[in-house]
Amino acid sequence: MAKTTKQVQKPGRPPQSELWFESKRDDGVLRYAADWAKALKAHGGYDYTTGKLTPMKKVKGLEKFDFHCWFAADSICAAYEEGLIGGANWVAQCFATKGDLEAFSYALSQQDMEWMHERHHAAFYALGVNDDYIASYLTVADYLDEHVLPEMQ
């Protein structure tokens, strides 16, 4: 049985939204399990079946999947929710190389949404993306470009 991350239900608030790998079809089967497994094998990321995180690599290659940007964001979010990442070294825990983080930042910058998934928002905020940059995926990309990437070797 597939593991899902911890979702904390707060009294009086609606349930949290699903991450891509948690999405189920009407028959209860995980909708993206096969593609998630392919992406995980080739690119690392969060493995919901084991609860482990492997630093993501060849992130640009995720473009072949419908959920390419969300695979990385969901992996970060799930790893944070499971207590696998945190502190100043969370980026190194999530990405194999600076180029992989650059590819993720670029993918985020291409999202034309005015909103952010609430679980992504909570994870990025807890990982240090400050109030000036937490408004959207584009502003998170700006934060990574301006504050994280310059510090990487």
pLDDT computed for residue 1 by the predictor: 39
pLDDT < 50: residue spans in the chain: 1-4, 9-11, 13
Q: Which residues contact 24 (CB under 8 A, 6 or more apart)?
A: 30, 31
For the chain, how many residues are written? 153
pLDDT computed for residue 2 by the predictor: 44
CA distance 114 to 7: 24
Ranges of each domain in the chain: 29-151
pLDDT computed for residue 9 by the predictor: 47
Contact 147, 141 (CB under 8 A): no
The tokens for 20 are 């891509």
Contact 102, 74 (CB under 8 A): no
Whole-model pTM: value is: 0.86
Q: pLDDT for 56-65, tens place per residue?
A: 999 999 888 8
CA atoms within 13 A on the CB side of 126: 17
Cα distances from 41 to residues 34, 47, 54, 56, 115, in angstroms, run: 11, 9, 10, 10, 30
